Amino acid sequence: MTKLGQHFLTDKSALKKISALLDLSAEGGSASGGKGGDTVIEIGPGHGELTEQILNNELGIKNNGIRIIAVEKDEYLAESLRKKFESHDNIEIICGDALKLLPSIIHNLNVPSSKFQVPKYKLAGNIPYYITGKLLRTISELQEKPEVSVFTIQKEVAERLAAKPPKMNRLAASVQFWAEPKIAFIIPRTSFQPIPEVDSATIVLKKVPPRRIEADAYYKTVRAVFAQPRKTILNNISNGMNISKDETRSKLEKTGIEPTLRPQNLSIEDIIKIAEEFQCIGG
């Protein structure tokens, strides 16, 4: 493991499947409205195992229409990647913290013909476990979300992300506001070097259409509802939004949602209904 907590995925079969999940187009792809291929932003490329697989997929061999922007925080690894891919003009290696750089990278992808239009892009990466939550929050705050994200993360975290009622949780509720998660496959710990203590999973996050509620109101509701997961939503909302239980119960009845439910029983649609009813209340 590096000083940045990286475990490098070396299983070529898994790398090939991850690349395929990106569903890349090298020419006239969705990333540019027919003006070139897809743009992939890879987070933490390490030694470039996945980068190489993305580059050398069937479409990439035919032409270099796919653009890869690889963001590596480790200076030594970034320099090694520059040397490894120096003959490829469609790969850009950026040394820095993806959590800090991602918004500006996406901003710089603006289509020249439209000052305010951001092209569609895709994210990929074998994500160090300790930054997974921060990365997902960074993405949630982006004005233009990725069309699809394919991440290899800790198996237990992937299962939490993909959870549905009656196992809903705050992380799942937050991410599923902007993406539909699906676990593609499990990767055993022996597929990494050095070997981590837990298994991993590759999860696909597909962007969903804009919701009918503002993000701020939704996330405020999520914070209140999941403040104490073992308590009822009646108690959590009343406490979290500083309103009486009677008023909380009355508003929940209008939504058709049972006040005695626990947070894990709520669907994304339920949370949206609650947000719509309570969005003007509380601090």
Q: What percent of the chain has pLDDT over 90?
A: 79
What is the rounded distance in angstroms from the CA atom of residue 203 to the CA atom of residue 188? 14
What local confidence, expressed as pLDDT, does residue 1 receive?
Answer: 45
What local confidence, expressed as pLDDT, does residue 111 receive?
Answer: 45
The dihedral built from the CA positions of residue 257, 263, 269 and 271, taken in this order, carries a sign that is positive
What local confidence, expressed as pLDDT, does residue 64 receive?
Answer: 58
Tokens of 112: 């020249």
**DSSP bridge pairs for 92:** 69
Q: Residue 116 half-sphere exposure, CB side, CA atoms within 13 Å?
A: 1
Average pLDDT rounded to a whole number, residues 2-20? 86
**DSSP bridge pairs for 183:** 203
What local confidence, expressed as pLDDT, does residue 66 receive?
Answer: 87
Contact between residue 199 and residue 186 where contact means Cβ atoms under 8 Å apart: yes
What local confidence, expressed as pLDDT, does residue 21 receive?
Answer: 96
Helix (H) / strand (E) element for 20: namely: helix 12-21
Tokens of 26: 């090298």
DSSP-derived pairing of the beta strands 39-43 and 200-207: unpaired
Across the chain, what does the average pLDDT equal? 89
Q: Who wins on pLDDT, 119 or 195?
A: 195
Confidence of residue 280 (pLDDT cuts 50, 70, 90): low
What local confidence, expressed as pLDDT, does residue 109 receive?
Answer: 77
pLDDT in tens, 249-277: 999 999 999 999 999 999 999 999 999 99
Confidence of residue 27 (pLDDT cuts 50, 70, 90): low
CA of 155: how far to CAs of 126, 159, 197, 201, 207, in Å? 12, 6, 11, 5, 21
Tokens of 230: 């073992």
Cα 249 from chain centroid? Answer: 34
What local confidence, expressed as pLDDT, does residue 3 receive?
Answer: 52
What local confidence, expressed as pLDDT, does residue 37 receive?
Answer: 81
DSSP-derived pairing of the beta strands 91-95 and 39-43: unpaired
Q: What is the dihedral of CA 115, 207, 15, 55, to 10 degrees?
A: -20
Question: Has residue 61 got a pLDDT over 70?
Answer: no
Question: Has residue 5 got a pLDDT over 70?
Answer: no
Question: Has residue 100 got a pLDDT over 80?
Answer: yes
Question: Has residue 8 got a pLDDT over 50?
Answer: yes
What local confidence, expressed as pLDDT, does residue 30 receive?
Answer: 43
Average pLDDT rounded to a whole number, residues 30-49? 77
Question: Has residue 190 got a pLDDT over 70?
Answer: yes
Question: Has residue 82 got a pLDDT over 50?
Answer: yes
- The pTM (predicted TM-score) of the whole model is 0.90
Residue 24: closest CA among 85, 73, 67: 67
pLDDT in tens, 206-238: 999 999 999 999 999 999 999 999 999 999 999
Alpha helices by DSSP H, listed for 63-213, are: 75-84, 98-107, 132-140, 155-161, 170-175
Q: Which of 24-33, 59-68, 85-94, 201-210 has the highest mean pLDDT?
A: 201-210
Question: Has residue 62 got a pLDDT over 60?
Answer: no
Instruction: Specify the DSSP class assigned to residue 208.
Output: P
Residue 107: which residues within 8 A CB-CB, separation 6 or more?
A: 118
Question: Has residue 283 got a pLDDT over 60?
Answer: no
- Using DSSP's 3-state secondary structure scheme, residue 19 falls into helix
Instruction: Specify the DSSP class assigned to residue 27.
Output: S
What local confidence, expressed as pLDDT, does residue 6 receive?
Answer: 80
Question: Has residue 76 got a pLDDT over 90?
Answer: yes
